[in-house]
Amino acid sequence: MKHSFDYALAFSRNIGWFTEDEQAILRTKRIAIAGMGGVGGSHLLTLVRVGITKFNLSDFDEFACENTNRQAGANTFTYEKKKLDVMIEMAKAINPEVEINIFPDGINNENTDEFLKDVDCYVDSLDFFALEARKEVFKLCAEKEIPATTAAPIGMGTAYLNFLPGKMTFEEYFRLDGYTENEQYLRFFLGLTPAALQQAYLVDPTKLDLGNKKGPSTMMGCQLASGVAGTQVVKILLNRGKVLNVPWGLHFDAYTNRFKKTWRPGGNRNVIQRLAFSIGKKKLLNQLPRQPEKEIKPLSLIEKILDYARWAPSGDNVQAWQFEIVNDTSFIIHGTDTREHCVYDLDGHSSHLAHGILLETISISASQFGCAIETENDFNNPQHIKIMVNLIEDNSIQTSELLPFVKVRAVQRRAMGTRALSDSEKTALKNALPDGYNLIWFESFDDRLKLAKLNFCNAKTRLTMKEAYHTHKNIIDWHQQFSETKIPEKALGVDWATARLMEWLFKDWNRINFANKYFAGTVMPRIQLDFIPSLKSCAHFAIQAENEATSIEDYINAGRAIQKFWLTTAKLGLGFQPEQTPVIFSKYLRQGIQFTSDEAVIKNANKGKAMFDDLMPHTEKTLFLGRLGRSQLPTSRSTRKPLAELIINT
Ligand SMILES: Cc1cc2nc3c(=O)[nH]c(=O)nc-3n(C[C@H](O)[C@H](O)[C@H](O)COP(=O)(O)O)c2cc1C
């Protein structure tokens, strides 16, 4: 049967939630929507499907590729087409009876009156930064007694406010007048999202760039916002259900699973809002004055590869490497070690493992450009090794499936889920290791308890040893969520009180010594950092070499194998924490490397070594010890030095 458009049939499935009479009322109503971009397009399509047939629409812009992620009308066929034309076509394709008054120059002082003519409800979807136009429209809505609703896409949720006739107005709520342009943006944002549910998951705050009037957005936010705006409009138009006016606000965030109703009497004059404003202003000032967009010099092939590879992990995030670019296809890795100041690296091999991890990451990164790598080693000076890397174009090279995990992978130091690894996960992890390496698992509760005791004992060695004090003091970035050169406090896995205790203790070795002697000062950190996480994991593992590693090359190769394994855990969605210090101390004791002058510490380290030897055969072959668990990505992590700092000219 051939269908033709029939209003009653088209919207018949609305009936039930609306009565037929209500549907008929909706058919007669006129809605004004300013802006057909991020959220306006979705608002329009939602309201057309509600059965609204009359619209006043404005937009002066054209669709472009960068609108793809969120704008309902943006696709490869609509680039460079007027947003207004495209959206009208889409609306008419849904309901050929829609009647639209168009405002193709956008909203301005001259046409706002006309734009709101005969309008029953105004739906705000102007660009976030179009504050002057927004103020003007809301002011006129209040004068003309037109109800107005604003549902903003915020992260992966929506925050929404209504402005009904005779109630608190836009200006009374936001109080923008008298502030600078940037302050007004901040006040608008704070008023829009008093609950700030999105704050917890903005993974790259640099993308929120008030200075350049840019911010990140998602389609989910837009769709949720349209669902909400559509509902507010229907309630307003049908005079049904309670519609909240500001200073009430609502915020639903699908990401954090939260819904919050806020009440800010006085709007932005409210004391909570004032506080948020003064805190926000400090952050905002960092972005002022408005920056012209920096001209970004395109990266060369080697720079592109290194920009990825710099995300390789290294002990304590020291990134003991720099790169010397020789020509278009060759560069030298200068790898140093930290033996002079780090007790965990007295023979340089921890650094060499990291250099191997870096090399593997370079190889993975090069694969995306169809390149293999060939290397020439110069290990004459073990404290400053040089590896010449030559890029070889090779059509048979496919992008490594581990590439997307290079930047995502991060250490999880907190307690993790304990659901056992499946056979297929274990097989994938075993297969990740090249020939010459074996994997030993410690999965049962008994085994994990043994590891927990080993790590607890080993942590005492670490924390009571004066030789490790400077390392610990220097590697933690207190109070931080992210850190370019250290480990941020929030990635440590201790609660706030323990972090404060540690911060206080680490200020002075005598404090640690005193606390250890009289108050068992390291017990709390050791329980939180070592004992509990060891139990709260699904397995511990040891990577062993078939032949004991002795040379720098052995450690570099082992590093390459470890990175394949580590990235595979990330691909499987598993949390990962290295537990290297028991391996390091037992090696020192086995090889007679003097790592402390404190007899009590040596005694404790020997106790740890005995526990370690008891756990597995051939501990001397162990290259890497760690734990895995069911875990989400950590919200706090180490980041990396910028590429420019890592490239040297010699
Ligand atoms: C050779 C090596 C040894 C490491 N040993 C430990 C360790 O014993 N305990 C730990 O929590 N993290 C350890 N790490 C993890 C680093 O601290 C971490 O990779 C670095 O801070 C960068 O952070 P990210 O991996 O989260 O990006 C080790 C990393 C490497 C490469």
User: What is the per-residue pLDDT across 395-448, written as a single tens digit (0 to 9) for each?
Assistant: 999 999 999 999 999 999 999 999 999 999 999 999 999 999 999 999 999 999
Q: How far apart are CA 500 and CA 498, in angstroms?
A: 5
List alpha helices for 95-180, DSSP H: 112-115, 131-144, 170-174
User: Beta-carbon neighbour count of residue 451 at 10 Å?
Assistant: 26
Gap from CA of 599 to ligand 1 centroid (Å):
28
Q: Whose CA is nearest to atom 30 of ligand 1?
A: 315
Q: Give the burial string for 75-105 (b: 16+ CB within 10 Å, else e).
A: eeebeeebbbbbbbebbeeebeebebbebee
Gap from CA of 91 to ligand 1 centroid (Å):
54
Residue 493: per-residue pLDDT: 84
Ligand 1 pocket test, candidate residues 310, 316, 562, 636, most atoms within 8 A of CB: 316
Q: Which of 187, 190, 140 is nearest to 165 (CA)?
A: 140
Determine if ligand 1 sits within 6 Å of the CB of residue 578. Answer: yes
Q: Whose CA is nearest to atom 6 of ligand 1?
A: 578
User: Beta-carbon neighbour count of residue 192 at 10 Å?
Assistant: 20
Q: Which of 383, 394, 516 is nearest to 462 (CA)?
A: 516
Q: Whose CA is nearest to atom 28 of ligand 1?
A: 315
Cβ–Cβ < 8 Å for 262, 251 = yes
SS3 assignment, position 471: helix
Q: Whose CA is nearest to atom 31 of ligand 1?
A: 314
Determine if ligand 1 sits within 6 Å of the CB of residue 413. Answer: yes
- DSSP classification of residue 200: G
Residue 291: per-residue pLDDT: 52
pTM over 0.85: no
Determine if ligand 1 sits within 6 Å of the CB of residue 638. Answer: yes
Q: Whose CA is nearest to atom 29 of ligand 1?
A: 315
Ligand 1 pocket test, candidate residues 537, 580, 640, most atoms within 8 A of CB: 580
According to DSSP, the residues that pair with 195 across neighbouring strands are none
Q: Whose CA is nearest to atom 12 of ligand 1?
A: 578
Gap from CA of 33 to ligand 1 centroid (Å):
52
Encode pLDDT of 583-625 as tens digits: 999 999 999 999 999 999 999 999 999 999 999 999 999 999 9
- Sites in the chain below the pLDDT cut of 50: 289-290
Q: Whose CA is nearest to atom 15 of ligand 1?
A: 315
Gap from CA of 649 to ligand 1 centroid (Å):
28
SS3 assignment, position 36: coil
Q: At CB < 8 A and 24+ separation, what contacts does 199-203 make? A: 200/256, 200/635, 201/155, 201/156, 201/255, 201/256, 201/635, 202/155
Pairing relation of β-strands 30-34 and 121-124? parallel
Q: How many CA atoms lie within 13 A of 172 on its CB side?
A: 15
* Secondary structure (DSSP) of 536-595: SSSEEEEEEESS---SHHHHHHHHHHHHHHHHHHHHTTEEEEE--HHHHHHHHHHHT---
Q: How many CA atoms lie within 13 A of 254 on its CB side?
A: 16
Pairing relation of β-strands 622-630 and 148-154? unpaired
The CA-based dihedral angle spanning residues 637, 567, 406, 202, taken in that order and rounded to the nearest 10 degrees: -40
Determine if ligand 1 sits within 6 Å of the CB of residue 353. Answer: yes
What's the burial of 524, exposed, middle or buried (CB within 10 Å: 0-12/13-18/19+)? middle
Residue 297: per-residue pLDDT: 80
Residue 501: per-residue pLDDT: 87
Q: How far apart are CA 401 and CA 431, in angstroms?
A: 14
Q: How far apart are CA 489 and CA 200, in angstroms?
A: 17
Cβ–Cβ < 8 Å for 269, 171 = no
Residue 525: per-residue pLDDT: 84
The residue count of the chain comes to: 650
